[in-house]
A and B are shown apart, each in its own frame.
Chain A
Amino acid sequence: MGHINQQFCIFDDKSTTMAKAAEYSRSEIPLFTVKVIENVELSPGVFLISWRSQLHFIPGQVVKIAVDRLQPPRIYSVCSGNSGDIMSVLFNIKEEGYLTPRLARYVAGDHLLVSAPYGSFHGDHDPAYWIATGTGISPFYSMFQSGLSHNKVLIHGVSYLNQFYFEEELSWALGGNYIRCCSRESDERVYSGRVTDYLLETNNFPKDYKYYLCGKSLMVVDVRDLLISKGIPYENIFAEIYF
């Protein structure tokens, strides 16, 4: 269960060079070294990596992560609550990438380069729908763990049943406000189909709620269009795209 949130980190892991990375230093947020305390494979190829951190952050924010200074860092949503001293991110392995195959081999005690949290995809106490696909659940899990879930509906779409990361915890806490959509496997507990199918079949979305979207660009664009077609003002829709 990891969320590889690579929004707008435009460089293929394998296509960048040391020289290029150096050029970017002018605009890069500084990276500092942290010690990994845990790296757990939550489902095949998806990991939750954690380290100790005293840094304050707003749930929904991102950090940059690198395993060395040879390649530009990549951006991941924080996937942990903001009241503890542990920070985590969820990532999936990109087989041809530079960072994630290395990251997957990390064990407790290894050192990782991480930036301070930043970004403006902020959760708050207003009523909202959290809509995610795959590892896009990260910022919402962070919001959930930070105590922002009391008036939220979480819709999570995945391809396979074992990709409902944090399912037990979310199911227990959110009950009927935790909607799981699975497109390639079925189970009586989950909606069979994509998130967009679920939204298409569902009506009466409250117009005064906020709608947070996180996932790949096509999902975000499709969901945003669907919500707008159902009368949700675009001003109430907040999107974070990753790829």
Chain B
Amino acid sequence: MCVEMKDQLFGKNLNELQDLSLALGLPKFTGKQLADWLYKKEISSIDEMSNLSKKARDLLNEKYEFGLSIPSKVQVSIDGTKKYLFPTSHNKFIETAMIPDDDRKTVCVSTQVGCKMGCLFCMTGKQGFQGQLTAGEIVNQIRSIEEYGEVSNIVYMGMGEPFDNLDAVLKSLEILTSEWGFAMSPRRITVSSIGIIPAMIRFLNESEAHLAISLHTPFDEERRKLMPVQIAYPIAEVVNEIKGWDFGRQRRVSFEYILFKGLNDSAYHVRELTRLLAGIRCRINLIRFHPVPGTPLESPDEETITSFRDQLTAKDITTTIRASRGQDIYAACGLLSTKELMS
């Protein structure tokens, strides 16, 4: 017997919900009602949609399921950081981190199962690429965690390269920021990329969320060895594209910079970073490197990290050192899911 997989409602945008309502012979406004139930109320089944008729719910149940997926595992760090593990199809896993900080709760979502980009320092890349997440699977990482309702910020910095799954990422942003959806401010959302230029341009055009670029070294030769994407999209071209973009007063661009001992932590790098980013109103986030298995890179000591920040600050570049969180729970992207895959 062939069992037909039901399509999922969660993750559809308003147009799709209206279209599917019409296709079922329901009024178009049912689409808006569905959006309310999916994105504004805390229910998890079609049968709980109490302002729809029994007939409408039956019709929906025949073809669709609600579409939420609960985490299969959660780990809690001594600092309060949580890492959720969500199962995906084919026995794969994705990770979602929830990072509390004073009155903020930031959720770090994944956009792909694995990753194609092969960065030397990244654990997710060691899984290879195993699949794209749908918009529903991305938004589910916010909707299905215990802290749903308290989430203040969202960062697309989990597993995968968001701009390699841009259609789903943009759709998830639409659901998160639309009035009919979660109605979050796009200013509370940051999408981080290694800098795939055509997708970056489309993202800047079609979204209002903040942009973060993984920079990690301003030098071409060094970056190629850390990040193979440099061959196709050199950081200088990425930055040039950003320089030509009007971010306005509200939208922010930042650069992520993982510090590696003896590799990208010198005064020479400070000078070149300053030259590269001249003319961009931006922030640099310095990140401590937490070694992953099989990677020949180390983190510099605290003195070097602080000095690097101070040198950039002295050049009038706003620079912060990101606090390391959740180190006791495999907080680096890909560590927990890789461990789960291998167990």
Which residues of A line the B interface, CB within 8 A?
A: 7-11, 15, 20, 23-24, 26-28, 62, 72, 75, 119-121, 216-218, 220-222, 224-225, 228-229, 233-235, 237-241, 243
Contact = CB atoms under 8 A, between A and B. Distances in A.
Contacts of A28: 198
Interface string B177-202: 00000000000000000001111011
Given A217-B117, A221-B126, A8 B220 contact: no
B125 A23 contact: no
Given A8-B196, A62-B232, A238 B224 contact: yes
Contact of A23 (B161, B205, B234): B205
Contact of B202 (A23, A225, A229): A23
Contact of B120 (A24, A72, A224): A224
Contact of B224 (A120, A218, A220): A120
By DSSP majority rule, is chain B's interface helix, strand, loop, or mixed?
helix
Nearest to B116: A217
Given A62-B232, A119-B231, A120-B224, A24 B198 contact: yes
The 3 A-B pairs at the shortest CB distance, nearest first, are namely A218-B128, A8-B232, A217-B116
A239 B115 CA distance: 15
B301 interface: no
Contacts of A20: 202
B164 interface: yes
B233 interface: yes
A126 B196 CA distance: 30
A-side interface mostly:
mixed
B220 A120 contact: yes
Interface of B: 114-118, 120, 125-129, 161, 163-164, 166-167, 196-199, 201-202, 205, 220, 224-225, 228-234, 237, 241, 294-297
Contact of A241 (B116, B127, B234): B116
Contacts of A72: 198
Nearest to A21: B198
Contacts of B129: 216-218, 243
B128 A221 contact: yes
Given A10-B196, A20-B202, A228-B296, 8 more contacts: A11-B198, A24-B201, A119-B232, A120-B230, A218-B127, A233-B296, A234-B225, A243-B129
A217 B128 contact: yes
Contacts of A24: 198, 201-202
Nearest to B120: A234
Contacts of A7: 228, 231-232
Contacts of B237: 27
Contacts of B202: 20, 23-24
Contact of A229 (B229, B232, B294): B294
